[in-house]
Amino acid sequence: MGLIQYIVSRVGAYLIVLFVGVTITFFLPRLMPSDPIEGYIAQMQNQAGQSMNPETIEELRTSMRKLYGLEGSIVDQYVDYIKRVFISFDFGPSLASYPKPVSEFIFTALPWTLGLLGTALVVSWLIGNIIGLVAGFYHNSRWATLLEIFGVILYPIPYYILALVLILLFAYIWPIFPLSTTILPGPITWEKINSIIYNSFLPALTLVLAGFGWNILGMKALSFANKEEGYVTFARLKGTPSRTIMFSYVFRNSILPQITALALSIGGVFNGALLTEILFSYPGLGLLMRTAIGSGDFNLLYGTIIMSIVSVATAALIIDLVYPLLDPRIRFR
Amino acid sequence: MIKLNNLVATYTTERGQVNAVDGINIALPSGKIIGIAGESGCGKSTLLKVIYGDLIYPLALTSGNVEYGFTGDRGTEVTTRDIKEYWFRRISYIPQASMSSLNPVIRIRRQFVDFQGNVVDEAKILAEVREYVRSLDLPAEAIDAYPHQLSGGMRQRIMVAMGTFFKPDIILADEPTTALDVVVQKSILMLLMDIQEQMENTILFVSHDMGVHYQLTHKMLIMYAAKVVEFGDSEDVFSTSLHPYTKMLTDSLPTIGDDHIREGVSGRPPSLWDELVGCRFAARCPLATEICRQQEPALLEHKPGHFSACHHADQV
User: What pLDDT score does B44 carry?
Assistant: 92
Closest chain A residue to B101 measured between Cα atoms? A231
Query: Which residue, among B89, B103, B107, B159, would best test binding to A if mutated, counting the most A CBs under 10 Å from its CB?
Result: B103
Question: Same domain for A72 and A112?
Answer: no
**pLDDT digits (tens), chain B, 316 positions:** 899 999 999 999 998 899 999 999 999 999 999 999 998 889 999 999 999 999 998 999 999 999 999 998 888 999 999 999 899 889 999 998 766 899 999 999 999 888 766 667 888 889 999 999 999 989 989 999 999 999 989 999 999 999 999 999 999 999 998 888 889 999 999 999 999 999 999 999 999 888 899 999 999 999 999 999 999 999 999 999 999 999 988 887 777 777 777 777 778 888 888 888 999 999 999 899 999 999 999 999 999 999 999 999 988 8
Q: Does A36 score more than 80 pLDDT?
A: no
Question: Same domain for A51 and A115?
Answer: no
Name the DSSP letter for residue A246. Answer: I
DSSP B268-309: -PPPTTSPP-S-TTGGG-TT--HHHHHSPPP-EEEETTEEE-
Query: Considering the domain boundaries, does residue A94 fall inside one?
Result: no
Question: Same domain for A52 and A135?
Answer: no
- CB contact (8 A) between residue B99 and residue A234: yes
Residue A235 forms contact with B (CB below 8 Å): yes
Quote the domain boundaries for residue A129: 102-331
Structural domains in chain A (count): 2
Q: Does A176 score more than 90 pLDDT?
A: no
DSSP chain B: -EEEEEEEEEEEETTEEEEEEEEEEEEEPTTSEEEEE--TTSSHHHHHHHHHT---TTEEEEEEEEEEEEE-TTSSEEETTTGGGGBTTTEEEE--SSS--S-TTS-HHHHHHTTSSS-S-HHHHHHHHHHHHHHTTS-GGGGGS-GGGS-HHHHHHHHHHHHHTT--SEEEEESTTTTS-HHHHHHHHHHHHHHHHHH--EEEEE-S-HHHHHHH-SEEEEEETTEEEEEEEHHHHHHS-SSHHHHHHHHTS--TT--SPPP---S-PPPTTSPP-S-TTGGG-TT--HHHHHSPPP-EEEETTEEE--TTGGG-
The answer to whether B272 and B20 are in contact (CB under 8 A) is yes
* Chain B environment of A332 (Cβ under 8 Å): 146, 148-149
Residue A190 forms contact with B (CB below 8 Å): no
Query: Which residue, among A3, A236, A237, A332, would best test binding to B if mutated, counting the most B CBs under 10 Å from its CB?
Result: A237
Q: CA of A7 to nearest chain B CA: how many angstroms apart?
A: 20
Tell me the residues of chain B between 33 and 72 that have a Cβ less than 8 Å away from chain A. Answer: 52, 54
Query: Considering the domain boundaries, does residue A206 fall inside one?
Result: yes
User: What pLDDT score does B118 carry?
Assistant: 61
- CB contact (8 A) between residue A253 and residue B105: yes
Query: Which residue, among A238, A244, A250, A329, would best test binding to B if mutated, counting the most B CBs under 10 Å from its CB?
Result: A238
Q: CA of A76 to nearest chain B CA: how many angstroms apart?
A: 52
Query: Considering the domain boundaries, does residue A97 fall inside one?
Result: no
- CB contact (8 A) between residue A239 and residue B105: no
Residue A329 forms contact with B (CB below 8 Å): yes
Question: Same domain for A50 and A115?
Answer: no
Categorize the per-residue pLDDT at A191 as very low, low, confident or very high, splitting at 50, 70 and 90. Answer: confident
Listed range (A42-46, A69-73, A82-86, B78-82) with the worst mean pLDDT = A69-73
Instruction: Return d(Cα A93, Cα A90) in angstroms, integer.
Output: 8
Of A13, B151, A319, the closest CA to residue A5 belongs to A13
The answer to whether B228 and B308 are in contact (CB under 8 A) is no
pLDDT in tens, A101-147: 889 999 999 989 989 988 999 999 999 999 999 999 998 888 888 88
ipTM for this model = 0.88
Query: Considering the domain boundaries, does residue A302 fall inside one?
Result: yes
* Chain A environment of B93 (Cβ under 8 Å): 234, 237
Domain edge (last residue) among A54, A88, A122: A88
- The per-residue pLDDT of chain A, averaged, comes to 87
The answer to whether A233 and A221 are in contact (CB under 8 A) is no
Count chain A–chain B contacts defined by CB atoms under 8 A.
Answer: 67
The dihedral built from the CA positions of residue B237, B241, B246 and B252, taken in this order, carries a sign that is positive
Question: Same domain for A233 and A322?
Answer: yes
Question: Same domain for A108 and A47?
Answer: no
* B41 conformational bin, left if phi > 0, alpha if psi -120 to 50, beta if neither: left
Query: Considering the domain boundaries, does residue A51 fall inside one?
Result: yes
Residue A231 forms contact with B (CB below 8 Å): yes
Query: Considering the domain boundaries, does residue A93 fall inside one?
Result: no
The answer to whether A210 and A157 are in contact (CB under 8 A) is yes
Question: Same domain for A123 and A54?
Answer: no
Closest chain A residue to B172 measured between Cα atoms? A237
Question: Same domain for A82 and A113?
Answer: no
Residues 6+ apart with CB under 8 A from A217: A132, A148, A151, A152, A155
Q: CA of B115 to nearest chain A CA: how many angstroms apart?
A: 4
The SS3 of residue A93 is strand
Question: Same domain for A195 and A326?
Answer: yes
Domain edge (last residue) among A41, A60, A88: A88
**What CATH number corresponds to the domain at position A252?**
1.10.3720.10
Question: Same domain for A109 and A67?
Answer: no
Of all residues in chain A, the percent with pLDDT exceeding 70 is 98
User: What pLDDT score does B250 carry?
Assistant: 86
- CB contact (8 A) between residue B87 and residue A238: yes
Query: Considering the domain boundaries, does residue A95 fall inside one?
Result: no
Question: Same domain for A128 and A221?
Answer: yes
User: What pLDDT score does A71 carry?
Assistant: 75
Domain edge (last residue) among A88, A116, A146: A88
Question: Same domain for A227 and A277?
Answer: yes
Query: Considering the domain boundaries, does residue A96 fall inside one?
Result: no
